[in-house]
Amino acid sequence: MSTASSRRAAVSGQRSTLAGRLLSRIAVALRHNLLPGLILQAIAVTLVLAYYFWPPIQPAFASLADLKQRYGLLYSLVATSLFGGVIPFAVLLAKGELGGRPGREFAFYTLFWAAKGVEVDLFYQLQGHLFGSGHDLSTIVAKTLFDQFVYVAFWAAPGLALVFLWKEQGFSLARARRRLNREFFLLQIPAVTIANWFIWIPAVAMIYLMPPSLQIPMFNLVLCFFVLLLAFLTDEKSRPPGAERR
């Protein structure tokens, strides 16, 4: 066999091995999150059905919508910090699943999700400008695809992976940089992204079925339920925001 043929065979073997490892990681992530994901989707569908078909719950939704309209981005900052950070942190602290520096963990979760809440709110507003605020099938599909295959795939998921890598390395940039290897970019980020598509695409579609003033409150509720389900249904050390779409 020529040298060129040997090199092509080696490259082909490496690609095959990489693809196999990626599929293995995706399968593990799906098994880990399947039950919480199914429950999450059921909760999202239930909330949407309740909003449209159960009149007694309308005052609660109206109150949330009023708060969101009144405070705008400030509501998104505070509410997402509470539902994505403070509540899951309290649960994990009670379960004894946090490290030896809970103060730093608390600051990280609350500040990270506060910033993420503002980001998601602005993204939802962008979606409204791009596709409108209708609830027809074409609008929901367009928003869901743009959300998951543009925003999540190229920004949210890679950014989340990088931020949590930094946290898991003791908030050390030097140690985090040493982990930024080929495996991180070609295996870890794609595996998390693809696994989350299976879980979050139906939930995101439910969020976009809600009026604009209720999309952030809906996102907060779904996010909190998902994080808490992972905390209660997994035996491994939980990573609250690492398993969500944002």
pLDDT one-digit tens code per residue, 60-115 = 999 999 999 999 999 999 999 999 999 888 887 887 776 667 888 899 989 999 99
pLDDT, residue 232, reads 61
Q: Who has greater pLDDT, 182 or 118?
A: 118
- Give every CB contact of residue 60 below 8 A, 6+ residues apart in sequence: none
- Give every CB contact of residue 104 below 8 A, 6+ residues apart in sequence: 171
Tell me the C-alpha distance between 108 and 124, whole Å. 24
Percentage, residues of the chain above pLDDT 70 = 83
pLDDT, residue 236, reads 43
Tell me the C-alpha distance between 36 and 32, whole Å. 8
Tell me the C-alpha distance between 246 and 242, whole Å. 8
Q: Is the pLDDT of residue 141 over 80?
A: yes
pLDDT, residue 16, reads 63
Residue 232 identity: F
Tell me the C-alpha distance between 34 and 27, whole Å. 10
Confidence of residue 3 (pLDDT cuts 50, 70, 90): low
Q: Who has greater pLDDT, 29 or 72?
A: 72
pLDDT digits (tens, 9 = 90+) for 209-223: 999 999 999 999 888
pLDDT, residue 94, reads 81
Mean pLDDT score, 117-146: 95
Contact predicate 91/228, CB 8 Å: yes
In the block, tokens 């990088």 appear at: 162
pLDDT, residue 116, reads 95
Q: Whole-number mean pLDDT of the chain?
A: 83
Tell me the C-alpha distance between 33 and 192, whole Å. 11
Percentage, residues of the chain above pLDDT 90 = 46
Burial of residue 50 (CB within 10 Å: 0-12, 13-18, 19+) is middle
pLDDT, residue 35, reads 77
Tell me the C-alpha distance between 159 and 246, whole Å. 9
* Range in 19-28, 188-197, 225-234 the model is least confident about: 225-234
C-alpha distance across the termini of the chain, in Å: 49
Angle of helix 3-53 relative to helix 212-233, nearest 10 degrees? Answer: 110
Q: Is the pLDDT of residue 20 over 90?
A: no
pLDDT, residue 235, reads 40
Q: Is the pLDDT of residue 233 over 50?
A: yes
In the block, tokens 């942190």 appear at: 89
